[in-house]
Structure 1
Amino acid sequence: MRGIRAARGTGTGEPGLFGPGSVTWALHGDPVMWIGGVRALYLQALHPAAIRGVMVNSDFRKDAWGRLLRTASFVGTLTYGTTEAAEAAGARVRKIHRLLGVDDPGLLLWVHCAEIDSYLHVVRRSGIPLTDAQADRYVDEQRVAARLVGLDPDRVPGTADGLRCYFDGVRPELAAGEDARVVDDFLRAPPVPRALVPAREAVWRRVAALAYDTLPPYAHALYGRPAPPPDTVTRRLTATANLLRCLPDELRWRLPPRHILRAMERLGEDTRPAPYSLRARAAILDRPGREGHGHGANGGDSTRWRTPG
């Protein structure tokens, strides 16, 4: 754990937009977020106008890996960077949106909601003990991120139920058109150097398949590929997440580039992100004895997954 021990810090640095006490800070350091990110791409591609804007204004086919890494770095900067760094990153994104003409609020809202819904759904379903109150707090915190990409936070869902209602309303607009098929083909078999083909088959295909399987049933219907039974998907996701969590933190946290390690250097080692520390905070946010097994946000599907005990 050399990388962690080196990140002592003084604890006097600027905490950034969210800070160590936020649900966002605790969740975004978990490796299952990468599966959530892939799920978000699958979901975002089902809005024909949104994905058309991506295809027309970016070289997705040739630079899909770069796009994925830039998105991950942006999320890392917003979560763990200083306020100045986060605001600057947001300004760059808004400028690009304006220059490319992809700053329509309706499309930006779809991209935002699909992303936040995917993160929330995957972390909860993978076993992180998140109460309903903490889930609502997370969705509310992410309205800060919505502002940075050019949205009015007051027009962005601030609760898990708000997300569910949003997806109920937008669902008739969704379809798996030609552009969605391009995204699907890429995610199932992205181009890699010949030497990395075995790793793609052994690792990436399983991650992408798992991300796809966690989509809501209507998304499976639109893509035309069924998923295993929900309980099977949940077991596979939990097992995969637990395996990823066995990787050393100092290795995992180098991607996106050292955002978490730099935050700990700035703020002190006791600010280390720990999703399972949320269990201790549950009594503060929820009523005593409440198990929190109500409705969750998962792309408009009202199924809520119990935390494996």
Structure 2
Amino acid sequence: MGARSRTEGRPTLRARLLTALSGDPDGTPAWVRALADGDDAGWFADGGAVWTVHAGTGTFVAGIRALLLQALHPGAMAGVHDFSRYRDDPIGRLTGTVRWIICVTYGSTAQAARETGRVARLHERVQGSYESASGTRSYSAADADLVDWVHLAFTEAFLGAHERWGGPIPGGPDAYVREWAQAGRLMGLDDPPLTEADLHARMDGYLARGELRRDERVDDVVRFLRRAPFTGMMRIAYRVLFAAAVASLPVRYRRLLGLRRTPLPVVTVTRLVLAVSARALARGPRAQDFARDRLRRLAGEESTTAAARTPAP
């Protein structure tokens, strides 16, 4: 996220990207500026696994990949179908999700708690029923299995996309899974996976138990995701990113979704799209830069306090 990015006339690529991600063409809504505030370093370290993965533009693919995976759980799908405003306000829905990710990743623990509380309040009304293989089931967004599946799908998608289009992860994949487990705890998950192997084993368990399925609602969401309402170059770039998300999915989930890889060299083309996006976003400060302002301030305050405690010679 960053400083002013519009020129006279047509919005720049950076402005269009920031509008899609934060709802603001400058990338500095109040919740981004608040990353500079707070009295602690937050849950995740600068330069650690979570900061590294979430700072990469591979997250553009990961977001689509996570939505495709999450849609396979009929309870999660029922909540989307019954309550989500993704059709009427897809950008607003996107920026709401991005806001939570950014605040939890880069914010102080207090900001992460406030943001998690905001999401929890939105989820309070998300409840109803859906048809499962065993009959009609009631659901709530706070149900342990729904929270678990959403966390697993998010973690797998962001890790998988970074492994394909990002650089090395400090501490490796296990470090990302272990660190991001804290986000699951904030959302009420008691026992999130702590290793990559555990992550995949738990996801495979949903498949083995027959808890994931494709139906008309899933197909409807997939059609919308395939043709998300962007225009111009953003539309072309998005179609590449969607194809990349499909291509990067593990085969078992891609088959369940009824999707096939494009024969085009999508991995290479995606690398180009992400590189162009990274250059555009680098023309101004991003969310992590506001967070680093907080870290520098706290380090300065700590140094001042330490100096005050040092006895004079």
- Which category describes the TM-score, using the shorter chain as reference length? 0.7 to 0.9
Determine the C-alpha separation between the residues in 2 that align with 1:147 and 1:207. 30
Residue correspondence of structure 1 range 168-207 to structure 2 within 5 A: 168-171=204-207, 172-192=210-230, 196=231, 198-207=232-241
Aligned pairs (5 A) from 1:141-152? 141-152=179-190
Given candidates 260, 264, 287, the residue that maps to 2:292 is: 264
1 CA distance for matches of 2:47 and 2:250? 31
Are 2:177 and 2:195, in contact at CA under 8 Å, matched by a contact in 1?
Answer: yes
Corresponding position: 1:45 with 2:71: yes
What corresponds to 1:28 in structure 2?
54
Equivalent position to 1:211, from 237, 245, 262: 245
Q: Which blocks of at least 5 consecutive residues in structure 2 are unaligned?
A: 4-32, 127-139, 300-313
Count how many residue pairs are aligned between Structure 1 and Structure 2: 253
Matched, 1:54 2:80: yes
Relative contact order, higher structure (CA 8 A, sep 6+) = 1
Residue type of the alignment partner of 1:141:
E
RMSD: 3.0
CA distance, structure 2, for counterparts of residue 216 and residue 167 of structure 1: 11
Do residues 93 (structure 1) and 131 (structure 2) align?
no
Q: Is the aligned partner of 1:130 residue 2:169? A: yes
TM-score by length of 1: 0.73
Q: Is the 8 A contact 1:127 1:238 kept in 2?
A: no
1:61 alignment partner, SS class: coil
Structure 1 pair 162–88 and aligned structure 2 pair: CA distance change class (3 A): same
Pick the structure with greater CA Rg: 2
Q: How does 1:158-307 map to 2 (within 5 A)?
A: 158-171=194-207, 172-192=210-230, 196=231, 198-228=232-262, 232-251=265-284, 253=286, 259-268=287-296
Contact between 1:214 and 1:233, CA under 8 Å: does it hold in 2?
no
Greater shift in the superposed pair: 88-97 or 108-117: 88-97
CA–CA separation in structure 2 for the residues paired with 1:97 and 1:151: 15
Query: For residues 262 and 225 of structure 2, what CA distance do their matches in structure 1 show?
Result: 18
Deviations 1:66-102 (A, max 9, x none): 1111111110000111111001111222233233231
TM-score (norm 2): 0.72
Distance 1:218 1:53, change over 3 A: same
Q: CA offsets per residue over residues 111-148 of structure 1, 9 Å max, x none?
A: 111011100001011141237x4211110111110112
| Mapped partners of 1:29, 1:17: distance in 2 | 15
Measure the CA separation in 2 of the matches of 1:262 and 1:103: 31
Aligned-pair identity (%): 31
Task: Evaluate the alpha carbon distance shift between residue 23 and residue 29 of structure 1 in structure 2; reply closer, same or farther with a 3 A threshold.
Answer: same
Residue-by-residue CA offset, 1:137-168 (whole Å, 9 max, x unaligned): 1101111101121211xx21111000110111
Q: How far apart in 2 are the matches of 1:129 and 1:98? A: 38
Maintained 8 Å contact 2:58/2:166 = no
Would the aligned equivalents of 2:56 and 2:166 in 1 still touch at CA under 8 Å?
no
2:97 paired residue number: 71
2:24 alignment partner in structure 1: none
Structure 2 counterpart of 1:82: 108
Specify the alignment match of 1:307 in structure 2.
none
Deviation at 1:40, TM superposition (A): 0.5
Aligned-partner SS, 1:246? helix
